[in-house]
Structure 1
């Protein structure tokens, strides 16, 4: 277990929105203008046929839930383990409920699409979590997930004297993990960019992870490469 899937660390990280919003604020689209959340939304939209039920697990502050909720014909249920995130998502007019992905409180075959954005590397029991996703999906349903690659922000961590933690669900491992449960797995790899206008913003990002890394001072701004994959599995 590392910090990414340590339950105590995850609980502390997401007890409020502060850490998450600090990290969200620095990300920019790829060089050709593609944004991972928009690509994930397109994947969800492609999977919809008529009126459809969609489940988001790990909804965070509800940014993506609000976008999914706006798709025509969608009935959305958004869940998160953090009570604070459930409240923030509900405030956006979304049906939001506290739930653990390892013990989803829904009937078998309840949803046409399940979405998990940047959260599977946090779960304490990945196998059980994916079994639950498979259980609540209807036959022929689609699971859309987003995760980071092992090289995500590796240069930033190296500059601060650290290293990027290896996660249980990454761009490199996600496809093989999903193929154990889904016959058709497709991927869209994206090279995103983290843009820091000054040293303080870069250090604030590192502080938000709780890794204790200290970045040597620098003048001006810096940009670091990110690595993201959107998976579609059915």
Structure 2
């Protein structure tokens, strides 16, 4: 996936959420709690990203495996003791049936062409009694940040609708229920609170590849300038900008 050719933009977003969230923002503890995770369980993290989640679990007496379509994500995990790294599609997992006690899909199902197919694959590789946990955003999170990026893209004659979110808190519980049956949903509401425009600009720029504007796009420098101008305008009459956000953890048992 072009957006994750490098993990730097993803790290910008992770760091922004940690530094500027009104309340402590780290979904990994919520996922571990929802799973009832304990060392010794065989766990698969689908869409492992920077690999931080699996690193936090290692070493373990159980099997720890990560899957991602991004070679950069797989490379980030290789060499971590006790952790497998696989470059593979969430819709075609390279594992036998009933291979794991737990499967996680954290903030990744909106990058999958067919989220339902990925959920079915998670169900397939889980053992009976195994737990699935998925994290997605609430609908329309961080509208100010989204507006910075989409507005600047649209101002340059490009279609911001290319950045589509096919799954969020409004429809994920139903998708998971259609495969697993009973689901549990835990919602976490929060907000980003920015003291100045610079972190907003950095975050919005990190989203541009998702809007079809990669680093080598001829319009990118101008779009970045437009984002900076829009962000500065937000602070012309306000000392801080608060941008609401949130996510849900959806869990189910095979």
TM-score when normalising by structure 1: 0.84
Report what 1:43 is aligned to. Answer: 34
Comparing both structures, which one devotes a greater share of its residues to helix?
Answer: 2
> Once the 2 structures are TM-superposed, how far is the Cα of residue 13 of structure 1 from its aligned partner?
1.1
Question: Gaps (5+ residues) in structure 2?
Answer: 152-159, 212-222
The within-5 A match list for 1:24-39 is 24-28=14-18, 33=24, 35-39=26-30
Partner Cα separation in structure 2 for residue 166 and residue 101 of structure 1: 18
CA contact (8 A) 2:43 2:65 kept: yes
Cα RMSD, aligned residues only: 2.5
> Once the 2 structures are TM-superposed, how far is the Cα of residue 182 of structure 1 from its aligned partner?
1.1
Partner Cα separation in structure 2 for residue 102 and residue 161 of structure 1: 29
Deviations 1:124-166 (A, max 9, x none): 1222212211111111211011110113102333466648965
Question: Gaps (5+ residues) in structure 1?
Answer: 1-10
> Once the 2 structures are TM-superposed, how far is the Cα of residue 32 of structure 1 from its aligned partner?
5.9
Which of 180, 183, 197 is equivalent to 1:182? Answer: 180
TM-score when normalising by structure 2: 0.78
Which of 67, 74, 80 is equivalent to 2:56? Answer: 67
Partner Cα separation in structure 2 for residue 123 and residue 85 of structure 1: 16
> Once the 2 structures are TM-superposed, how far is the Cα of residue 91 of structure 1 from its aligned partner?
3.9
Which of 119, 122, 147 is equivalent to 1:130? Answer: 119
Rg larger in structure = 2
- Matched positions, count: 221
CA contact (8 A) 2:51 2:73 kept: yes
> Once the 2 structures are TM-superposed, how far is the Cα of residue 169 of structure 1 from its aligned partner?
1.7
Partner Cα separation in structure 2 for residue 107 and residue 161 of structure 1: 41
Residue 88 of structure 1 pairs with residue 101 of structure 2: no
Partner Cα separation in structure 1 for residue 173 and residue 117 of structure 2: 17
> Once the 2 structures are TM-superposed, how far is the Cα of residue 180 of structure 1 from its aligned partner?
0.2
Which of 90, 94, 100 is equivalent to 1:105? Answer: 94
Which of 6, 10, 35 is equivalent to 1:20? Answer: 10
Secondary structure of the structure 2 residue equivalent to 1:113? strand
Partner Cα separation in structure 1 for residue 148 and residue 25 of structure 2: 27
Structure 2 CA distance for partners of 1:17 and 1:161, relative to 1, 3 Å: closer
Instruction: Identify which range, 185-194 or 13-22, moves more after superposition.
Output: 185-194
Report what 2:247 is aligned to. Answer: 228
Partner Cα separation in structure 2 for residue 180 and residue 135 of structure 1: 14
Report what 1:204 is aligned to. Answer: 202
Which of 145, 164, 174 is equivalent to 2:134? Answer: 145
Residue 77 of structure 1 pairs with residue 77 of structure 2: no
Report what 1:5 is aligned to. Answer: none
Which of 34, 39, 42 is equivalent to 1:53? Answer: 42
